[in-house]
Amino acid sequence: MELLSVMTTEEVKALINREFTYKLEFESVSLLDSVNRICSKDIKAGCCIPNFRRSTVDGFAVNSRDVFGASESMQAMMELKEEIIMGETPALTIFNAGECSYVPTGGMLPEGSDSVVMLEYCDKLDDKTILINKPSAPGENVIQIGEDISINDIVINDGQRLRPYEIGVLAAQGVNEVTIYKRPKVAIISTGDEIVSIETNPKLGEIRDINTYLLYSSIIQDGGIPISYGVIKDEFMLLKNTVDFALKECDIVLISGGSSVGKKDQTLKVINSYDNGVLVHGMAIKPGKPTIVGKAGEKIIFGLPGHPLAASIVYKILVKDYINNLMKLKEAEYGITARMSINYHKARGRVEYLPVSLERINGKVIASPVFGKSGIITAFSKAYGYIRIDKNVEGLYEGEKVEVYKL
C-alpha cells in the first residue's frame, strides 16, 4: 500500500495561496438584498454624518462662557429664546450673552451655542427664564459635524461582510445599490459504491449519503451556492465525466470520498488526469489525513475524506478558508476560553481537532471532549465547538486553559 506524504495545515494553505489566483466576478444588488454579502470595493462617504451639530441630550443649548462657575448656590440666569423642533432648523441664533434655546436629543444646535446643559441641571423660573446650576464645557453633550463620518472616509471596506449595522451606515449615506462578490458556486460530488441516497433503506454494508447534506448546508452557511451532482460509483469515467461537468459550472469542486489509497478509490486518479493534477495528498491532521488538493486549469478541486467527521474538519479549515479568500473576507475568528474537564492524550506529529461540549460549572466554562471515531457524525452534532491541539503537544491536562472555536 502506498503511504501518504503529509503536509502541515500551514503548508497546504500557503500552497493554495501560491498556486491559485482564481477570482470571483462582481454583481450589483439593492441595499436590502445585500445583507450578509461581501462588499467588493471600498465605499467612501459622500456626506458628513451628522451634517449639522446635534444634541446628545434633552436640555438647553448655551454658550459655555455664560454658565461658567454655575452651581446650585449660584445659578446662571438665562433668557429662553425658543424651543427647537426635531427636524427643523432653529429660527433664531444666539448672539447675546445670557441667551439659551431648548433642544431635544438629536436636535440641531443654534449658531452661537457651543454646548448643551442637561434638563436635570436646569430649573424653569418662568416662561422666559431658565436657571442653570451646572457649568458646561465647549462641545459638551454635542456631536459635531462629521464627528461620526467625514466626507471621503472609507465607511465600508473591500472584503467586509454587510451586516445590518453596515446596511444602516450605507443607508445614512444614501447608498441604495452595492457592488458585492458573486456567491461562489461549489460542486459537491459524493463517491463510493457503498453510498446510497437518503431515501433508500440501506442494505448491510451500505450507508446513506451524509456528506452531501453536511457540505451543502455548510456552503450555504458560508455564503456559497452549493450544487449537488449526486452519488457517483467508484468508476473512473463516471467520476471523470462528472468532475468535467462540475468544473464548467462551478468555481470550486468538492469530491467526498475516494481520497484514500485503496484499490477502488478513484478520486486521486481523476484529479491527476488534469494538467496540474494533485498538489497535495495527505495532511498532518486528525481526523482528515487523506485530504487531496488538486488543480484543473485555474480551479481548485478538494478531495475530502469520506468519513463525515473528517470531511467536516477539512471543510472547516481548508474549504471555508478558500471561500473566504475568494471573497477577500476579513473576519477574525475568536475562541472562547475554557478549562478541560479531563486529561486528554494525543500522539505527536499531527494537529488534532477535538470536538467538545461546553457547560458552566461554579462560574467556570468547562470543555468536555465529545468522543467519536472519524466515521461517527454525532460527535459534531453534540459539540459546541472544537479545540485545535498542536502537532507537538501530547495532550491536555484536566483544568488546563484551552481555546474553543465555535462550529
pLDDT of residue 373: 56
Q: Do 41 and 166 share a structural domain?
A: yes
Does residue 296 sit within a domain? yes
Q: Which three cell numbers stand for residue 69?
A: 462657575
Residues in Cβ contact with 298 at an 8 Å cutoff, skipping those fewer than 6 apart: 20, 21, 22
Q: Do 276 and 264 share a structural domain?
A: yes
Calculate the average pLDDT of the chain: 92
- Residues 99-123 have a mean pLDDT of 96
Residues 393 and 344 sit within 8 Å (Cβ to Cβ): no
pLDDT of residue 91: 87
Rounded-to-integer distance, Cα 210 and Cα 321, Å: 22
Q: Do 109 and 252 share a structural domain?
A: no
- Burial-class residue 143 by CB neighbours within 10 Å (0-12, 13-18, 19+): middle
Question: CATH number for the domain including 277?
Answer: 3.40.980.10
Rounded-to-integer distance, Cα 358 and Cα 274, Å: 45
pLDDT band, residue 94 (cuts 50/70/90) = confident
Q: Which three cell numbers stand for residue 298?
A: 485555474
Residue 82 reports pLDDT greater than 90: yes
Q: Which three cell numbers stand for residue 60?
A: 438647553
55 three-state secondary structure: strand
Total domain count for the chain?
A: 4
- Residues 271-289 have a mean pLDDT of 92
Does residue 1 sit within a domain? no
User: For 350-396, how does the pLDDT look when each residue is reduced to its tens digit (9 = 90+)?
Assistant: 899 999 999 999 999 999 999 865 556 676 788 999 999 998 898 99
- Residues 148-157 have a mean pLDDT of 96
Residues in Cβ contact with 328 at an 8 Å cutoff, skipping those fewer than 6 apart: 38, 40, 158, 159, 181
pLDDT of residue 264: 56
pLDDT band, residue 1 (cuts 50/70/90) = very low
pLDDT of residue 333: 86
Does residue 305 sit within a domain? yes
Domain boundaries, position 365: 336-406
pLDDT band, residue 330 (cuts 50/70/90) = confident
CA angle 226/230/232 to nearest 5° reads 130
Q: Do 240 and 353 share a structural domain?
A: no
Domain boundary among 305, 326, 347: 326
